[in-house]
């Protein structure tokens, strides 16, 4: 559909400050009903084709979201795939989650804040023994490709490579915007919705720039960001956020796990069917348990990247590591310059990919520099 909808000035200010913005009723009723019909005709638990169904990708390609993203980001590849995220109603469980804690012990409906693009190998359900080095080596051997050593060929069960580049200086896949389109009621906390850490995108950006200044290595296993949390109850939890970011958002109200560790409180994204949330890649987010909902939680997730980042590559809308193939294959990123440094540039310059935000960001930076004089 042809649309002229764009973010207004107040919405852009909110996006700048908080890292996300919610758009009400941005999906036309017919496109929404088509997507819901697609859910009924596919087995969403096992049928991987659902993410390629045009009725799903039309949620961006034929909705008002297309014009919004075109203006605020700039050129991007029309999505040909997406992540259809359905969460059934469930009670807290004793299963160890990826941060190494029991689901029932993890605050805020089992949330663990993270950014996409991080390698996640399934963590062990029992407490690990041995040295930290031994635990790490056993962990990376347990990935879907087996024992490949400490290598960029290793991928996680989420298909993300351990490192994006052969030199192992970038351990973070990246894109521009995360889009969550709501297909079921998510208006009350505990209904399985995505939650975010407002304002934390500024801190993650600062941290990435600091890492690059120290050694040039960005992401887990770079400066001050170990990949694993050996103090988790299973001694092998994934450390999805560096302490420098996480600790900034702790206060006296932060809920704790049974070991006394406090965790930042995420803000649930409350939406109704037809709403959508646009957030920056840099904003930590999390899924939450659908403990109190009255039906399955249905959200369709897109990952969009400004085309100028890697012009030779088509980003499909699903992958969170578009500098590599979906299964970790090496791609032709072009020979005009170092493609990995281009991605590092995008990670360190948070608003570079957001052409429709440049004027506002420049104005804010000018004001801040003036106030600092």
More confident: 66 or 333? 66
- Binned at pLDDT 50, 70 and 90, residue 49 comes out as confident
Residues forming a β-bridge with 268: 195
At 362 the three-state DSSP class reads: helix
Is-contact 163 140, C-beta < 8 A? no
Q: Evaluate if residue 44 carries a pLDDT over 70.
A: no
Is-contact 245 203, C-beta < 8 A? yes
**Degrees to nearest 5, angle at CA 237 with 231 and 238:** 125
If you average pLDDT over every residue of the chain, what do you get? 95
**What is the value of pTM for the model shown?**
0.96
Q: Evaluate if residue 43 carries a pLDDT over 90.
A: no
- Binned at pLDDT 50, 70 and 90, residue 367 comes out as confident
Q: Which domains does the chain have, with CATH numbers?
A: 9-371 (2.60.120.620)
Q: What is the pLDDT of residues 189-240, one digit of tens each?
A: 999 999 999 999 999 999 999 999 999 999 999 999 999 999 999 999 999 9
- Paired sense of beta strands 297-304 and 83-87, if any: antiparallel
Q: Which residue has the tokens 């030199």?
A: 167
- Binned at pLDDT 50, 70 and 90, residue 241 comes out as very high
Question: Can you tell me the distance from the alpha carbon of 18 to that of 16, in angstroms, rounded to the nearest whole number?
Answer: 6
Task: Read off the tokens for 261.
Answer: 């560790």
Average the pLDDT over 290-302 and give the result.
97
Q: Which residue has the tokens 């999505």?
A: 79
């Amino acid at each position: 559909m042809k649309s002229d909808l764009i973010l207004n000035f107040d919405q852009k200010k909110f996006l700048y400050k908080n890292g996300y913005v919610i758009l009400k009723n941005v999906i036309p009723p017919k496109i929404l009903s088509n997507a819901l019909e697609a859910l009924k005709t596919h087995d969403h638990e096992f049928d991987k084709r659902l993410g390629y169904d045009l009725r799903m990708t039309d949620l961006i390609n034929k909705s008002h979201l297309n014009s919004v993203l075109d203006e605020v980001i700039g050129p991007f590849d029309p999505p040909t795939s997406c992540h259809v995220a359905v969460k059934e109603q469930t009670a807290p469980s004793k299963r160890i989650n990826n941060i190494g804690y029991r689901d029932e012990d993890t605050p805020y409906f089992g949330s663990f804040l993270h950014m996409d693009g991080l390698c996640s190998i399934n963590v062990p359900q029992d407490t690990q023994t041995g040295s930290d080095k031994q635990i790490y080596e056993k962990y990376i051997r347990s990935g879907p490709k087996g024992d490949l050593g400490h290598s960029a060929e290793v991928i996680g069960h989420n298909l993300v490579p351990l490192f994006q580049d052969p030199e192992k200086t970038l351990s973070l896949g990246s894109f521009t915007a995360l889009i969550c389109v709501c297909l079921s009621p998510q208006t009350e906390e505990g209904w399985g919705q995505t939650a975010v850490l407002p304002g934390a995108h500024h801190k993650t950006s600062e941290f990435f720039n600091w890492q690059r200044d120290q050694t040039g290595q960005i992401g887990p296993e770079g400066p001050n960001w170990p990949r694993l949390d050996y103090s988790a109850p299973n001694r092998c939890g994934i450390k999805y956020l560096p302490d420098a970011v996480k600790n900034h958002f702790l206060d006296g109200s932060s809920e704790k796990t049974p070991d006394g560790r406090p965790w930042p409180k995420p803000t649930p994204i409350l939406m109704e069917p037809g709403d959508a949330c646009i957030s920056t890649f840099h904003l930590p987010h999390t899924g939450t348990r659908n403990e109190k909902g009255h039906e399955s939680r249905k959200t369709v997730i897109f990952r969009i990247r400004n085309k100028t980042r890697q012009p030779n590559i088509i980003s499909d809308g699903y992958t969170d590591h578009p500098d590599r193939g979906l299964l970790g294959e090496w791609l032709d990123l072009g020979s005009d310059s170092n493609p990995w440094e281009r991605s590092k540039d995008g990670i360190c310059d948070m608003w570079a990919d957001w052409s429709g935000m440049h004027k506002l960001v420049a104005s804010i930076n000018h004001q801040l520099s003036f106030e600092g004089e």
